[in-house]
Structure 1
Amino acid sequence: MSWKAASMREDIDEELAVKHYATAQRPGDRRYQCDATAVYTMPDSTRAHVLLDGVGDTLAVRAWTRTAARRLARAAAGHGSAEAGLRAEYARYAADPVRLDDDHDVPEAAAVVAVHMPGGLFSVAWSGDARAYLLLDGNLRLLTEDHNARRACNGDRNLITACLGGTRDDAESEQIWGHPAIEYLRGPARPGWLLLASDGAYEPLEDTGHDLAGYLTGDSQDAAERLVDDAARHARAVRNPYADNATALVARIT
């Protein structure tokens, strides 16, 4: 496979979509579930899968991420491109005058989106540390690179350096953190498993040596449920005890 580098869920096409994807969430020890997922399917079967990991723990963040996830899924599916959809929504939020105030307190979220088009075209785009994985022929590949201070300067992995709702363009982000505000991959797809995960889902499992590929078997809903259940349990065991919001979206790419 060659690549070019460059919750709430919305069941838009429920009867068809539910056969191919599933989501699961656990609130952990936060007051509110501020992660969100959405799936949007176009009439030509182009489908976008989205996961947002909201920054903060408030009702306002929860409401915003749910709406933003649906908007991003529609935009990405409509453009037929994960990158184009994410750039369109990023630019729309960045243009809000409220966000230009350094003291603004408006919602933001780490974002990852994957788009599968008829004919086998596949793309992924992200801003933040929500991740996308692809399991092909038994090999799990991490498609995204985290936008956080650990990557940028070997700092705190929980300090994200780009996100949906941010205002820096690619050049500004590159200058400050060494990566653009939005990154993407695109290329031909092969049948496999797609996993989108918030840091509350992947971090506890990776920290305790669990292979995420082991969850991508059988029924999609069971796979997603097992993954977030284990993430919450292991997070409490290693974080004295604290479990973040954990969200996983599991999809079969056919």
Structure 2
Amino acid sequence: MPGAVAVAVVMVHWDGTPVQIAWCGDARAYRRGGGAAGRRGGDGIVHRVTTDHNARQDALDRGLPGASRNKVLSFVGDPHPSPRFGVRAEPAEGRFLLASDGAYEPIEDMGCDLWVHLDGPLDEVAEDFAAFAAAAGGADADNATVIVIDLSPGSSDDHQLPHLGVPRV
């Protein structure tokens, strides 16, 4: 992989229609559907929207035994003529979590349910989620960055601004 590239990107665009999510690498988007923003509503289930572009996911897709989740197969700046990028549309309602691998991996590795860490006001959830992930990662903690967004059906005036979560020092 060349030096100065972004190995993981997740983007969301919302204009009153379904959310468009694009990604490469191992950044992830999750959506907890329906219900009142900031509460466990609707189906209450956190759905992973993206699929990792790493060696582990590639092996799983081919029915092969484990491979490294740390070997990223897609990134911004990829010199290959047809780099892997994912694009998906999701309903424009619910709570969205956009997370770096350093944010979701420690929580997954502990076997915790992500939704437990998604209840509450946006600013607190974003900061607490990232701080919990960084603490759970211990000495091997990676960049734990999250963005939490609440969207509700209707006009764009009905949703709160997204909040970026970074671990508190």
Q: Fold match, TM over 0.5?
A: yes
The equivalences for 1:13-162 within 5 A come to 104-118=2-16, 120-136=17-33, 137=42, 138-153=44-59, 154-162=66-74
SS of equivalent residue, structure 2 residue 14:
strand
Report the equivalent of 2:86: 183
Q: Is the contact made by 1:205 and 1:231 (CA closer than 8 Å) also made in structure 2?
A: yes
Give TM-score, length-normalised by structure 1: 0.51
1:106 and 1:133 map into 2 onto residues whose CA distance is 27
Cα deviation 1:160-199 (Å, max 9, x = unaligned): 00011112233xx5xxxxxxx1111115x24210100000
Q: Which runs of 5+ in 2 are unaligned?
A: 34-41, 60-65, 153-169
Runs of 4+ aligned residues of structure 1 deviating over 2 Å after TM superposition are 104-109
Structure that is richer in helix per residue: 1
Q: Is the contact made by 2:100 and 2:144 (CA closer than 8 Å) also made in structure 1?
A: yes
Structure that is richer in strand per residue: 1
Q: Is the contact made by 1:200 and 1:247 (CA closer than 8 Å) also made in structure 2?
A: yes
Give TM-score, length-normalised by structure 2: 0.75
Aligned residues: 137
2:12 and 2:92 map into 1 onto residues whose CA distance is 14
- Aligned in 2, Cα 1:168/1:227: closer, same or farther, shift over 3 Å? same
SS of equivalent residue, structure 1 residue 252:
strand
Alignment RMSD:
1.6
Name the aligned partner's letter for residue 18 of structure 2.
L
Q: Is the contact made by 1:108 and 1:166 (CA closer than 8 Å) also made in structure 2?
A: no
Report the equivalent of 2:162: none
Q: Is the contact made by 2:7 and 2:72 (CA closer than 8 Å) also made in structure 1?
A: no
2:92 and 2:19 map into 1 onto residues whose CA distance is 9
Higher Rg of the two aligned structures: 1
1:243 maps to 2:155: no
Cα deviation 1:92-128 (Å, max 9, x = unaligned): xxxxxxxxxx8x533333111111112x321111110
